[in-house]
Amino acid sequence: MTLMPLPRSTLLTVLNLAFAMIVGAIGFGVGFAQGQLAQTVVLFTVITVAALFWFANYVAVAFENRLAADAESGEADADRRLVGARSVWAANRVLIVAMALLLLAYLIITATVPPFRTLSNLIAFLVLEAILVFAFKVSGVFVHGRSAFIGLIVLIALVVISAFTIEGFLSATNIKAVLLFASFLGIACAGQTLVALMGGLDLSIPFVIGAANIGLLYLIGLGVPPWFAFALVIIIGGLIGFLNGVMSYKLQGQALIMTLGMGFAVAGLVQIITSIGSQFSGNVFGTVPPWLSNLAAMNGVTFGLSVPPTILLWIILSVLVVVALRYSAYGRYIYALGGNRRSAMLIGISEFKYWVLAYVISGAFAALTGALLLGWSGGGFIGVGDPYLFTTLAAVVIGGTSLAGGYGGYGFTVIGVLVLQVLSSFLIGIGLKYEWQQFIFGLLILPMVALYSRSPHIRAQV
C-alpha cells in the first residue's frame, strides 16, 4: 500500500473528497460559532479535510483490493456457504453475543444507578455498539493492518465518547497534555517495537528510564555541562542496550528475564552511585537547565508555538522510524529475521548484528525518555519509569505488533500509544483513580489482542 492511496474509480475519489469537505465545512462552521481564532479554525479545517480524505481513500482502496481478490477466489468458496438464519448466526455469533452482553451491562447499570441515566451515556453506549459492528464486519476486509484499523476506530470512538462525557476534553490544554504523555510513552516504545519485531522483549526499559532520570540530574549536579550529560546518558543507555542484546542473543527465549535482571542491576547500581555522599537515599535534588525544562514541560515553546518540543520530537522520530522500517535495508532485514530466522540467515543477514542493534536502540530511546521526563518533572525520581514496565508492552501489543516477531511496525505502536493515553485521559476525566485505570487497562488488553493476534490451534500446527 502506498503512502497516498487513490482508488481506481474516479467516482470514489470524488465522493471521498466531498465527504471530507462536508465534514471539514461542519467543523469550520462550528469553530466560528464557538468564537475561535480564525487562523486556528482554518488550520484545523485543513488538517481535518486532509486526514479524512486520506483515510477514506485508504478504506476505498482496501475494499477494491478485497473485491478483486474475492472475484478470483470466489468460485471455489461459493458452494460452501450456508443459507438462511443459521448462517447468519454461525457467521456472527461472537459479534451477537458481544453486543448482547454490552446491552445487558448497559441495561443493568442504567436500571441500578440513577445518575448513569444521561444522554451522553446513551450516546457512548451506541458508539460502543457501533464499534463492535465495525470491528467485526469491516475489519475483516483488511488483510494487513487490521489491528491498526481497529485501533483507529477505538481511538476515534474514545475521542467521541470523551468529548461527550468530559467537559473540556477537546480543549487545547488537555490535547497538549495527552500528546505530551503520549510522546514520552511513544519514544520509550520505539525500541520495544523494534525488539518485538525480532521476537524479543525488553523489560529493562522502565529501569533505564528511572536510572537515566536520576543519573542525568546527578551528572548535572556534579558540574558536567548539561548538553554533554544529556548525550552521555543516552550513550550509556545505548551501552546498556548493547549488553542486553549481547547477553540475550544466545538466550532469546528468555530475553524477557535477562533484560529484567539487567534492569534491576542498572537501577540498583545507579541508585548506589547517586546515594553515595548524599543524605537523601535514592532521591536526587538539583537544578534542571531551562532548555531541558522547555523541552518537555507543559508550557514549553517550539519555534514560538506554545507546544512542548517533545511532541515535535516524537512526530519526527515516528516518521523516521516508520520510514526506516519500511524502506531501509535495516528495517526490511528486521522483518526478515523476525519472520523467519533461518531463511534470513541463509540469504546472509547477520542475526547477531540486528538483534544487538535493536536492543541498543531500545536502550538509547529509554534513556532519552528518562532524560526528557527529568525536564518534565524538574526533579530526579527513580520510580518515574515504573508505569512504563507494562505500558510499553501494552502499547506495542494493542497496536498489533506480534510479540512473536515479523509482523507489525512502529505506525501500529503509535496508534496503540494514542489509544492508551486517550483512554487514560478519559478514565481520569470520569474520575477514576489510578488503581481502577490499571484494572481496566489489564482487562482491556486481552480482548484487543484477541481480536487480531490469535495463534492457530495446535491441531493446525502439527
Partner 1 sequence: MTESRGAQDTYLLIPILLLAVLVSIAVIRGPNLVSLPGFGSAIIVAAPLILATYALMSVALAGRGTVDLAVGPLLAFINVSIVSLNGLGLVTSPLGVFVVAIGIGVIYQILFALVIIVVRVQPIIVALSGFLALSGINRVILPRPGGVAPDWMVSWGLGNTIFSPVLLILVLATGGWLLFTLSPFFKHLRMMGYDERAAFTAGVRSDIVRIGAHVIAGIFVGLGAICYTALIASGDPTQGTTMSLTAVTAVVLGGVSLAGGRGTITGALLGATNLFLIGYVLATFQFGSVQGFVTQLLYGLTLIISLLLAMLVPVVGRYISFISPFAAFMVLGIVVAGIVLEVSTAQTYVATGPIPVGSGDNIERYLIFPPTGDAQPFGIWLSPLQRLLFIATAGILALVVMMRVVVVEAAARRFGAFGHAVVACFILLCLAIIAIYSHPARGGLMP
- Tell whether residue 168 is a contact of partner 1 (CB under 8 A): no
- Tell whether residue 440 is a contact of partner 1 (CB under 8 A): yes
- At closest approach, how far in Å is the CB of 171 from partner 1? 28
Size of the site for partner 1 (CB under 8 A): 56
167-195 as b/e: b if 16+ CB within 10 A: eebeeeebebbbbbbbbbbbbbbbbbbbb
**The only residue of 19, 63, 242, 441 in contact with partner 1, by rule CB under 8 A:** 441
Residue 351 CB contacts under 8 Å (≥ 6 apart), including other chains: 249, 337, 341, 344, 345
Q: By C-beta, is 13 or 438 nearer to partner 1?
A: 438
- Tell whether residue 174 is a contact of partner 1 (CB under 8 A): no
Q: Cα–Cα distance between 417 and 401 in angstroms, integer?
A: 12
Choose the stretch contacting partner 1; rule: CB under 8 A; options: 94-102, 178-186, 358-366, 442-450: 442-450
- Tell whether residue 436 is a contact of partner 1 (CB under 8 A): yes
- Angle subtended at Cα 60 by Cα 400 and Cα 322, rounded to the nearest 5 degrees: 40
**The only residue of 2, 112, 281, 299 in contact with partner 1, by rule CB under 8 A:** 281
Choose the stretch contacting partner 1; rule: CB under 8 A; options: 155-163, 222-230, 271-279, 287-295: 271-279
Concatenated DSSP letters of 55-113: HHHHHHHHHHHHHHHHHHHHHHHHTT---SHHHHHHHHHHHHHHHHHHHHHHHHHHHH-
Question: Max alpha carbon distance in the chain (Å)?
Answer: 80
Residues 211-250 that bind partner 1 (CB under 8 A): 247, 250
**The only residue of 272, 319, 320, 323 in contact with partner 1, by rule CB under 8 A:** 272
Q: By C-beta, is 277 or 348 nearer to partner 1?
A: 277
With residue 172 as reference, give the H or E element that holds it: helix 172-197
Q: One-letter amino acid identity for 83? A: V
Choose the stretch contacting partner 1; rule: CB under 8 A; options: 84-92, 224-232, 261-269, 348-356: 261-269
Residues 323-352 that bind partner 1 (CB under 8 A): none
The Cβ-side half-sphere exposure at 317, using a 13 Å CA radius, reads 22
- Tell whether residue 369 is a contact of partner 1 (CB under 8 A): no
- Tell whether residue 260 is a contact of partner 1 (CB under 8 A): yes
- Angle subtended at Cα 240 by Cα 238 and Cα 243, rounded to the nearest 5 degrees: 110
Per CB under 8 A, residues contacting partner 1 are 201, 247, 250-251, 253-254, 256-258, 260-269, 271-272, 275-276, 279, 281-282, 390, 393-394, 397, 403-404, 433-443, 445-446, 449-450, 453-459, 461-462
